[in-house]
Homo-oligomer: A and B are copies of this chain.
Amino acid sequence: MGDKDLRVGLIGAGRMGADHALRLEKRISGVRLAAVADPDLGRAEGVAEASGARAVADPLEIIGDSAVDALVIASPGAVHEPLLLAAIDNDVPVLCEKPLTPDAKSSLRVVEAEEARGKRLVQVGFMRRFDAEYAELKRLLDSGDLGSPLMLHCAHRNAATPPGFTSEMMIYDSVVHEFDTARWLLDSEISAVSVRAPRSSSAAPEGLLDPQMVTIETARGALVDVEIFVNCGFGYQVRCEAVGERGTALIGADGGPLVHREGRWGGTITEDFRDRFGAAFDREFQRWADAARRGEVDRTAASTWDGYAAAAACEAGVRAQAGDGRSEVDLVERPAFYGRT
């Protein structure tokens, strides 16, 4: 397989990029890190060094490079659009970390460019679709064993936020995962988003509305409630309970060794999303690379359309936060090119 390895160019050598470089080199097969781009050239070199990859400052240099078969974009969302358009233009498969772009309008331009090209090239990094528990929940819902799904109850908790984290980022960076999983699990577009907040935790930084309760309405009449609590103090926790007409299924329950000690039973909580979703990232990357080598896209992964729909839901969420609590989501008509949800 050595001579057929997919040569990947990585754009963005920050924390997420460095993590993905490690993933490409050490944890998945059939892939080779060929180039790393970062405006901070030293940072690009640091990530590229171990694998002998080329390091550049300008990402556009590697998008058209014939020695690069595919791209992973892990730079900030604000700079994604031109990179994606260039990749589409060059016929290069892309795994783009979420968000596709920061707003629905620019996401739609990427949708249109891909559709115009007539070939699916872009995958958005909603890694939960590759998590073993979420995949099993999806399988259960699709099997019909629980009856038609009516509601999801979600909780999404982080121990603490980095400096500068805002109420809007709780929607754009965190709840965006629930937007995608809701659409994917329920196989239906989001029609409206509501946001309500209790009094904020005294552990939250001044000015941050934390926690918040987000309610999602889908076109098929399902309801999803999401607790987003990014300064819960005790660890990272993502939970989802699906309620169907005939039964319920819960994922995200606590695992690990069950310990009895000092008057207490229980276990430890994962610290962050890399512990919780590390294996999902690996599987996502492996399946993306396998598809890319065959000249295909992974149809279970999130498409450009999914990235656009998530961006539109985020915008509605932020409008709901700022306004009277509820905002409708307006999507353009879904192009046949993208098939069903």
Contacts and interface: CB of A to CB of B under 8 A. Distances in A.
A86 interface: no
Contact of A260 (B248, B257, B259): B248
A294 to B, nearest CB: 13
Interface centre among A140, A234, A259, A260 (most CB of B within 10 A): A260
As for how many copies of this chain the complex holds, the number is 4
A279 B245 CA distance: 30
A151 B213 contact: yes
Interface string A137-148: 100100001111
A205 to B, nearest CB: 13
Contacts of A243: 211, 227, 229, 232
Contacts of A221: 198-199
A269 B264 contact: yes
B2 A245 contact: no
Contact of A245 (B201, B227, B286): B201
Chain A interface residue number, banded: 35 or more
Contacts of A201: 147-148, 150, 245
Interface in A259-279: 259-269, 271, 279
Contacts of A29: 25-31
Interface string A224-249: 01010100111101000001011111
